Structure 1
Amino acid sequence: MHKGWRPLRADVHVPAGGDGPFPVVVYAHGGAFVGGVKEMGPWGSLPGRGIAVVSVEYRLAGEARYPEPVEDIVTAIRWVRARAGDYHLDSGRVAGWGSSAGGYLMARAAVSGGETGGRPLPELAGYGADLSAVVLHYTAGDMSGVVAAAKADPALRDRVGPSIELIYGRGLDSEDLPAIVEHGSVLRAVAVAQRLPAFLLAHGDADRTVPVEQSIRLRDAVQARGGHCDLTVVPGQDHAAPVFAEPRIVDPTIEFLYAAWAGRFSTERDGTRR
């Protein structure tokens, strides 16, 4: 999907029943920016519930630096709309879903308005990159906070430091890293976005890699702008725990997606569920 040294691929999973056009979720996998594959993810039951899934690749750290992976996600969303007729997809009902690193990229793409600083592929430039809704699992909304925490906690530095250094092209202690990370902050982008999709966040309160406070801050930022954002806090669960693919998380997510596509959300003071 993106011109470069390797092609970026997407798997398109279309519901077996019905003729469409089907609403569609664009999914970005996790993997700490350095790994993961498009076959990963908690989306397996969606086609059986009438929702198509396009699970996409993006350039990993070591291949590209921020904001290039965000550009890949924006390109994927445009590609879905360009090829909607080929796969019986509804270009008016497109949502995003991302886990961990993929969640950060999806969130950043969702609030960018399609403007990431890169140049759209000419054949896709006429297609929109907006999303009706975004689902984020254990995602860093404030990467500056992650960097600060990694500097203060040797164990966290070991877990996330190498990925951060690769994706931003600067060491954790580099003087110019804070400015680059702030530019990539989802919170900063939310504060200035002209349009916000509806958000659904899920995060474990025992997450040792991306603390749950990251999702709390993102929820608060979206709601402060008058947007809709629900947060499901999962007690006792760590980063990327199997529970995030279980029906108790996925079934309400499907309900949320259909509600977003129906335009049924209104602003709420506190969307936290436990």
Structure 2
Amino acid sequence: MPTSSTDAPPAPAPAPLAPPARGGGLVTWRAAEYAVVPGYRPLLLDVVRPDSAGDVPLVVFVHGGGWRTGSRSGMGPMFAGWDPSPFAELAAAGFAVASIDYRLSAEARFPAPLDDVRGALAWLADQAGELGVRPGPCALWGESAGGHLAALAALTGDGVTAVVDWYGPSDLTTMADDAATGGRSITDPGSPDSRESLMLGGPATEHPHAARAASPVTHVHPGAPAFLLRHGTADRFVPTRQSQRLADALDGVGARPRLDLVDGADHLWLGDPQAARTAFDDAVAFLRSHLTP
């Protein structure tokens, strides 16, 4: 979370964790307050885990929406009709799943959303005993803008052992060029009213330091967590080249990421329920291989 200046009052402590609901073999905490940043809404997350004895590994999900929209309520439109929900499926597979909200670009500019992801990770670590979460490294999973934030938080902090990044931007300094040369983009990331510009406070060309700081490729290092990058070759919102750039950077430091390019798939797996199902199942298998003995 943002640090206060020496003249500012300390941020209020989040509300105590309320008792969970139980049912269907799951334990669920709704709207848990993980941070209170003065001047903003309280920051909330949901946690669901299996109703069983023993600590379970933690997966933290970061929603997409171009840093402008979206909420912790789901994984995106192609998963809206799932019953059980993707989070319930993950919990049934033996994970605790925390889905988090963060400040959007109409509320605060970068690095606010990254600060919030870090704040959620810190709160979850503090509450591990209450939540029945296994101490130690967790995994981050994000889609689109959430994939960007998941990668960025994992590469700039500690305590994350694996990352699932679906079609997330990785290099904001090249987004406009990649969109222009890819032949598929229906948006201009370099325009002043683009999602990227609204998050940064202006076009990347006018804010080069912020654009580099907000780019996961800038922060790649040899000790990077395991990465599963998945991106459709027909993505109209985030050029496929962005995932390739992050994979190349990770390869360059010996981190050995996994890059899955899905032929013909669009952003959000739009219009392709099977692509969404396969992406989810592959992510669960990847997380199981890195989080469970």
**TM-score class normalised by the smaller sequence:** 0.7 to 0.9
Gaps of 5+ in 2: 1-33, 80-85
Matched residue, 1:118? none
Partner residue in 1 for 2:242? 214
Contact kept in structure 2, 1:80 and 1:91, CA below 8 Å: no
C-alpha deviation, 1:20, in angstroms? 2.5
The answer to whether residue 74 in structure 2 is matched with residue 40 in structure 1 is: yes
Deviations 1:143-172 (A, max 9, x none): 111133457889422898421221111146
> Segments of 4+ in structure 1 off by > 6 A?
151-154
| TM-score, with structure 2 as normaliser | 0.76
Is 1:248 aligned to residue 292 of structure 2? no
Deviations 1:161-190 (A, max 9, x none): 421221111146xx5323321222111111
Deviation at 1:85, TM superposition (A): 0.5
1:170 to 2:205 alignment? no
Larger RCO: 1 or 2 (CA < 8 Å, sep 6+): 1
CA RMSD of aligned residues (A): 2.3
Q: Which of 169, 175, 183 does residue 146 from structure 1 map onto?
A: 175
Match runs of 1:67-216 below 5 Å = 67-113=111-157, 129-149=158-178, 155-157=186-188, 161-171=193-203, 176-190=206-220, 193=221, 195-216=223-244
Residue 134 (structure 1) shift: 0.4
TM-score with structure 1 setting the length: 0.81
Structure 1 pair 201–194 and aligned structure 2 pair: CA distance change class (3 A): closer
Instruction: Find the aligned partners of 2:283 and 2:252 in 1 and give their Cα distance.
Output: 23
Residues 34-81 of structure 1 show CA distances to partners (whole Å, capped at 9, x for unaligned) of 100101116432011001100000000011111111011011111111
**Distance of 1:260 and 1:203 partners within structure 2:** 21
Following superposition, the deviation at residue 226 of structure 1 comes to 1.0
- CA gap 1:252/1:150 in 2 versus in 1, 3 angstroms: closer
Q: Which runs of 5+ in 1 are unaligned?
A: 114-128, 264-274
Answer with 251-260 or 59-68: which moved more: 251-260
| Per-residue deviation, 1:228 | 3.0
Q: Which has the larger radius of gyration?
A: 2
- SS of 2:160's partner is coil
Displacement of 1:86 after TM fit?
Answer: 0.5
Q: What are the residue-to-residue correspondences of 1:6-21 with 2, within 5 Å?
A: 6-16=41-51, 18-21=52-55
**Does the 8 Å CA contact 2:222/2:254 hold for their aligned counterparts?**
no
Q: Provide Cα deviations, 1:223-244, integer angstroms capped at 9, x if missing partner.
A: 2111131111111111011548
2:290 to 240, 254, 260: 260
% identical equivalent positions: 35
- Give the superposition deviation at 1:253: 1.5
> Secondary structure of 1:21's partner?
coil
Residue 85 and residue 203 in structure 1: after superposition, are their counterparts in 2 closer, same or farther (change >3 A)? same
C-alpha displacement at 1:19, in angstroms? 1.2
Q: Which amino acid aligns with 1:142?
A: D
One-letter amino acid matched to 1:165: S
CA contact (8 A) 1:149 1:156 kept: no
Comparing 129-138 with 146-155, which one deviates more in the overlay? Answer: 146-155
Q: Distance in 1 between matches of 2:144 and 2:107?
A: 19
CA contact (8 A) 1:12 1:54 kept: yes
